[in-house]
Amino acid sequence: MTLQLRAIALYSHSDERREVMFDLGCLNIVTGGPQTGKSSLLRIVDYCWGRSDFVVSGGGVIRDTVAWFSILLDRDGEGIFIARPNAGPAGRSSDEIYFLRGVAALPGSSKEFHKNVTADGLRDHLSILLGISENVYEPDRRATQRPALEASASQAIFFCLQAQYEIADPRLLFHRQGEDGITAAVRDTLPYFVGAMGDDHYINQKRYADARARLRDREREFKDAQALSSKASVTAETLLGEAKRVGLVPPDVFADTPVQLREILAAAAAPRERAYAKMDDPAADLTDLEERRQRLREELQNIREEICDLKRLEREASDYMAEAHEQQARLSAIGLVSSQGDHPDRCPLCESHLATPVPSVTDITRSLAGLERQLNSVHRDNPRLQTRIAELETTRTDIEGRLRVVQSDIAARISDNERLRIEQDQFTEQARIAGRIGYYLENVRTVTSDDGLKLEVARLRAQVAALEKKLDLDLLEERLSAALDFVGRDLTDLARSLALEHGNNLLRLDRRRLTVVAETIKGPLMLPNIGSGANWVGYHVAAHLALHKLFRARHRPVPAFLMLDQPSQAYYPPDRDVGEVDIHDEDQIAVTRLYRLLLDYCTTTESPMQIIVVDHVELLQDWFRGAMRQRWRDGIKLVPISWLSQEVDEE
């Protein structure tokens, strides 16, 4: 497939269109005086191709008068239209991009233009149109730590543009090479664009990564399997010991061979029924027993308190009786005194007068009678107290017996629960060990004579080796060197045709330095050291033509056009309008030789090649005039004068 440029078009703020049309597959020349907008054509193509920064200049005229920039590409007959709005005086790049496929001609109006794609989307569209396949270039990690880079339309355009300040620069060979990161981008994507990196390189990289991952897994499995085949692995032996410890395997079982070891582990990992211990009394519950114990303790405490109260009452009654008997004995002496002549102020014994009256005999006798009645009552109640205390003692003995039984039941239940907990912990540990054994058996296989694992590892190793050979960076460099050898051969022929200095020596394109090198008898000579401005322009042109010849011969995904901005500047200053030039001196002969080479190149390449040149020189030969598409003189410029008047009117 071939991608070339049909036209460049500008749209004014009043929606007028100014187009520059080009023929496909041949030389196209736009000639004119200085400050006519010739150099802006290349910048417009660069901008519409998706460049992030706004580079269209034009002394402010273009910025002030143009609303939209656009290009119309041709892909094997299909028109592809790309338009971007003018950034205006601020010069900020706009992310608004209008992209349309299947266009027959330039749109007559810009009113329908709108953002329908992002810059990344445009790059992807252009990459697809060019036929760029999935690719990733991995730099040699032994020499650099640059990240991998995918070749795309963004890098392809570097081989198609030579601005006025680039075409005669002895230090920079490619478009934008002096900007940060561009040199590395050209260097890293060159292997893909020249065909040293095949279209299947990316797929092989993916296959290589997948094959390496599978090989690592199979080698690990094979290593474990080999260990299990030759000798029971440490892991398997450890698992067997663990199984014996938790009771999954009897302690007297041993494995003499790896197969036996596997069978023992498989039996240990097999599911089994867990028989938990059962209680003798299912209805018994530790909580109920504790509640019963609490009730019995409360009853026993109440009985003890009641017995204590009764015994205290008994002691008090006994003390009372002793005191009462003593009082009775004292009062009984009253019988010695006659009750007649009861005078409280006289002594009942000696009949003497008393200063303080004493109780009468009658009162004392009455008190003694009351005391006797109380003693009789105490004598009657004492047997009943003894009987009650005896009953309570019997009840206490019974409760204490029942409490001992409950205590024994609680201790037994606690023992049963501890045994059950230990049993459950053992079952849990058995399940854990069985799970580990099962996982081990699932991921480790024993290698036998008929196992395919060894063959699979061998097959994957062969596949990885084959892919490594395809992806070998050294081999890639060899293929790149071979491709650049073809470029160097054509570069040498073109330099001789242009009669460049050192053109008779072997010339080559240095991929690392991105420059032209002449192999002289005294050693390599790089472009900055070769001749003057005429040689630098000539080698720029020759190097790009040699590369494009390889691109076309190998059907590489690079646009089939080359834009050159003022290649005659080494002979005629770009700010001087030389106008029509006839052949009568060496400079004019050199310029004619250059343009004739460009004309012949387009017609002799295997695939159609389009070369677009903007210059201020104008040769008189018919073939030159036949290649002229625009002649900007006598007031004719890229921006029509009428647009300038519109700008004045608007102001």
Residue with tokens 């008393």: 354
pLDDT, position 283: 44
Please check whether residue 314 is in contact with residue 389, taking contact to mean a CB–CB distance below 8 angstroms.
Answer: yes
H/E stretch holding 486: helix 473-497
**Cα angle, residue 393 at apex, residues 392 and 397 outer, rounded to 5°:** 115
pLDDT, position 495: 95
Q: How many other C-beta atoms are found inside a 10 Å radius of the C-beta of residue 517?
A: 21
Residue with tokens 């000798």: 231
- Nearest CA to 301 among 388, 387, 399, 386? 399
Please give the backbone phi and psi of residue 275, each rounded to the nearest 5 degrees, phi first: -100, 105
Q: Report how far apart, in Å, the C-alpha atoms of 282 and of each of 121, 201, 477, 555 are.
A: 77, 76, 85, 90
98-101 vs 161-162, strand pairing mode = unpaired
515-520 vs 161-162, strand pairing mode = unpaired
On the CB side of 509, CA atoms within 13 Å amount to 33
Please give the backbone phi and psi of residue 626, each rounded to the nearest 5 degrees, phi first: -70, -25
* Strand arrangement of the beta sheet that strand 27-32 belongs to: 161-162, 561-565, 610-615, 27-32, 628-632
DSSP label at residue 498? T
628-632 vs 27-32, strand pairing mode = parallel
- Nearest CA to 607 among 78, 102, 24? 24
Quote the CA–CA distance of 267 and 244 in Å, as a whole number: 12
Quote the CA–CA distance of 469 and 479 in Å, as a whole number: 13
pLDDT, position 651: 47
pLDDT, position 444: 64
Quote the CA–CA distance of 478 and 58 in Å, as a whole number: 45
Positions in the chain short of pLDDT 50: 232, 282-283, 336-339, 341, 447-450, 648, 651
pTM: 0.63
Interval 246-265: pLDDT, tens: 888 888 888 777 777 778 88
pLDDT, position 396: 84
Query: How far is C-alpha 605 from the chain's CA centre?
Result: 48
Q: Name 322's Cβ contacts closer than 8 Å, sequence gap at least 6.
A: none
Query: How far is C-alpha 610 from the chain's CA centre?
Result: 45
pLDDT, position 203: 74
Quote the CA–CA distance of 163 and 42 in Å, as a whole number: 7
Quote the CA–CA distance of 527 and 48 in Å, as a whole number: 31
Quote the CA–CA distance of 602 and 26 in Å, as a whole number: 5
DSSP label at residue 335? G
Class of domain 286-414: mainly alpha
Task: Encode burial over 331-360: b for 16+ CB neighbours within 10 A, e otherwise.
Answer: beebeeeeeeeeeeeeebeeeeeeeeeeee
pLDDT, position 450: 44
Quote the CA–CA distance of 193 and 182 in Å, as a whole number: 15
